[in-house]
Structure formats: C-alpha cells, structure tokens
Amino acid sequence: MTDASRDAILVRGARQNNLKNLDLDIPLNELVVVTGVSGSGKSSLVFDTLYAEGQRRYVETFSPYARQFLDRMDKPQVDAITGIPPAIAIDQTNPVRTSRSTVGTMTELNDHLKLLFARAATLFCQCCGKPVRRDTPESIYTDILSRARNAGDPRLLLCFPVPVPKSFKESEVRELLEKQGYTRFLAPDTAHDAAPARKRGRKPAAAPPIVLEVIQDRLRAGGAERGRVLESLEAALRVGRGRVNLHVADDSDPPRTLETWRYSSELHCADCDLAYQEPNPSLFSFNSPVGACETCRGFGRTIGIDYGLVIPDDSKSLRGGAIKPWQTKSYAECQQDLEKFARKRGIPLDTPWRELGAERRSWVLEGEGAWSKGVWYGVRRFFAWLETRAYRMHVRVLLSRYRAYTPCTACDGARLKTAALLWRLGSRELGDQTLGASSRFRPHGAQWSD
Ligand SMILES: [Zn+2]
Ligand SMILES: [Zn+2]
C-alpha cells in the first residue's frame, strides 16, 4: 500500500456506462465536487462506480445470512479501486425534504442509530451518573461478595422494601406480610436510611410514604452458602417487586444499620430511587413524540426574541437609544419608564450598553416585576406583553423584526428528551479520543461530572 492510497481513493480504468477508461485519485476527508455537462458521466462515476463499490465491499463484510437482507449492488466496470471506505449516498432523485430533515434522516442513518441505541446503549442515572442496570440474583450475589470482602464480611440483613399504600394502615400491611411468613422487620428508627431522600427535581410529597423494611434473611456473605443466598435474593425480589436492600448491621440488639446496599431488577437506580423508561427505538427518534424534546418538538431550535436584534448597537447608552424598539413614537412611553426607573436605581443613563456590566444589563432586560406592580418591568416582559397583542397586524410586523431561531434551551439542540439522552454507547476512552470532556454534550438536568 502506498502513502497516497491511504488518504485517497484510487480509481483505475473505470468503464461504467459511458466512462472512458478513467483513472483518477479522489482525496479522502475533503469535500470533492464532481461537475460536468449533462451526460458527461458524473452519476456513472459517483453513484454507479464509487458508491456501488463502497457499498458492495461493505455488504461483503456481513455473513451470508445477513447479506440476504441487504441490497446487493453489481460490481462496477472498473479495473481497480483502492482505499474506498463504506459509502452512503443521498440520492439526487426525489429528496423528500422537510424542515425536520437532517443528514441522518435523509441517509436513513437515523433509522439504524435508533435501533442500535435501543439495543446496545447503556443508561446512566441522571442523578449519580452511574450505569443503571437490571440486577439479577446472580449479579447481586457477585456484588455482595466483593463488597462484603472489602468491608470485613459484616453482618448483613437481606431486606426488601414494602411501601404502605395510602388506603392501608401500617399494622394492616404488617399483618398481611405476617400471613405470608414475614415476621421480622427492620425497626423504623434503624431503617432511617431505608427510603433514600428524593433528589432535586422531584416534587416533595406532602407526607413521606411509610416504607416497611421486611427482613428476608440474615447472613454473612463470606460464610453463607451460595444457593441459600440466591434463593433469598430471588424471594426478596419477587415479594419486594424488584427491590432488594442489604443492610450492613452492627452486633447490637436490635441491630443498627450502618450502611445500605441497594439493588433493583428494573431500570431503576436503587441509590437515587429514580425509575427509568424502557428503551425502544422511538425513544431515540426526534420524529416520534416518544423521543422528541417537548420544548422544541424535535426541531432542536425554538423561535424567540433575539436580544442581539433588540440591542443591535452596544456602543449606545440607555438614553442614547440602546433599546431599539423603544425609539419609535408608539413605544416612547417605555423609553420614559426605563429612564425614570434607571434614575431611581442609580443605573447610569449615558454609559454605553457594553460597559454597563452584566448585573445592570440583566436589570434592564429582566426588570423587577410585573408592570401592574408599578415597578420596572424589563424588556423581556415588554415582548411577552406584545405577544398577547399579536392579533394586531402592526404588532406582528414589529415582533417579526426581533424574532430569530435560537438553539432549544431544553435539549441544547439535541432534539431529544432527556430520558433518551441519558443512554450512551461506547466507552469513555473512546469519547475522550473523539472530543474533549469539556466540549462534549451533556443532557440538561444530568448532574454528571466529567
Ligand atoms: Zn443514581
Ligand atoms: Zn429541544
């Protein structure tokens, strides 16, 4: 292999359709445009030769079984092609283009990616950033063994949580459990850690629900027989509806919980007590209401007021007309209000906008409260008020002058819901090789570290 072949596609003796024994080198990693008059063989070269060969070789890498489901392409009329990567083609015919089209949708790459993510991606907890996996009795047992070894094989209480439903009394639930043979419970004061505190982003319940910690088994992992532990875990998962808590207990009587190891057989972060949605391909499609960001409806951007257009010249002062829409007769009243309240608050009227400082600029834009309260209402409320009067033609015209598309603030332009963006493929090492941690995308609401 020569050096040239490593960064170029070498075509030798192409004779597809009307090509006349063409030799050429096409550089890789560059945008190459093929032009020519009608009938000169552009499509024969690009689609029937390059794309056909790239696709053909890619398909060859699959098993014969998989190949039968893929479009086969005929070998193009060419002596040799080297250095060709797998190819995708965006057809020149009938491009169904909508405002939602992307390279991903037009090449149908998105259709493959959403399947790949639904099958192969790993979910990371929004709160603690740890992978969320379904625990099985086997995986829990393995984990308990290694944790117990590190903790000096402590005394363990194998428990499962049973929330007391609103319409029941705690004693009634205890009675029901006792009928099933569950007579031992972790005393409520020692189970202080039983219900993990709901983290930020959840509405606090009026009264925290009562959760009984039912003791399934008591053991030391090092000495306990494997079969017995698995049996206990299975039973606890069954009655505890997929939840198992192992309480590390001290030797006092009744035992006090020193630490709790939580497990869940569902898509649920046991540590944060956050449940997650099952993945399906629609979750990873911004053209599906299941996956599309609710704020921008999958467009990745929203239409809003562009403050760069509202204050187009930052060398102007407030008195000098920095706020452009208020320089007309119709809204002169707003300009007077601004100057009146600015004087009250000691905001300089003759300082250029760019020298006002972030805090004062924010005061101008955000204001102090509603107009009806007789305080400074701010530029943003002015536009919100205009929106309510958009039934009038001249207001619509005015608004359109200051509107622009801005990246959606809910998804940062990713077009998908946070629930979808918490799923990731590949390793962190791979990610680091592609893009530095600081410039990588992080879903909103995820409290992850780098
Ligand atoms: Zn978590
Ligand atoms: Zn969005």
Give the three-state DSSP class for 138: helix
pLDDT at 135 over 50: yes
Fold annotation for 3-82: Rossmann fold (3.40.50)
| pLDDT tier for residue 440 given thresholds of 50, 70 and 90 | confident
Query: For residue 265, which of 154, 182, 141 has the smallest C-alpha distance?
Result: 141
Identify the CATH number of the domain defined by range 302-407. Answer: 1.10.8.280
DSSP assignment of 371-419 equals GGGTS--HHHHHHHHHHHTTTSHHHHHHHHHHEEEEE-TTTTT--B-HH
Domain boundaries, the chain: 3-82, 131-275, 302-407
| Calpha distance 353→348 (Å, rounded) | 10
Give the pLDDT confidence score for residue 254 in this predicted structure.
76
224 CA to centre of ligand 1 in angstroms: 29
Least confident range from 127-131, 189-193, 378-382, 385-389: namely: 189-193
Query: pLDDT of 213-229, one tens digit each?
Result: 999 999 998 888 999 99
118 CA to centre of ligand 2 in angstroms: 20
Give the pLDDT confidence score for residue 206 in this predicted structure.
58
Residues surrounding ion ligand 1 at CB below 5 Å: 125, 127-128, 269, 271-272
Query: pLDDT of 390-399, one tens digit each?
Result: 898 989 999 9
407 CA to centre of ligand 2 in angstroms: 8
What percentage of the chain reaches a pLDDT higher than 90? Answer: 53
274 CA to centre of ligand 1 in angstroms: 7
CA atoms within 13 A on the CB side of 433: 5
Average pLDDT over residues 307-331: 94
Consecutive H or E run containing 110? helix 109-120
Give the pLDDT confidence score for residue 283 in this predicted structure.
94
pLDDT at 334 over 90: yes
pLDDT at 317 over 80: yes
| Calpha distance 35→58 (Å, rounded) | 27
Fold annotation for 131-275: Ribulose 1,5 Bisphosphate Carboxylase/Oxygenase (3.30.190)
Give the pLDDT confidence score for residue 24 in this predicted structure.
93
120 CA to centre of ligand 1 in angstroms: 20
Answer with the residue of higher pLDDT: 283 or 252. 283
- Residues 175 and 201: beta-carbon distance below 8 Å: no
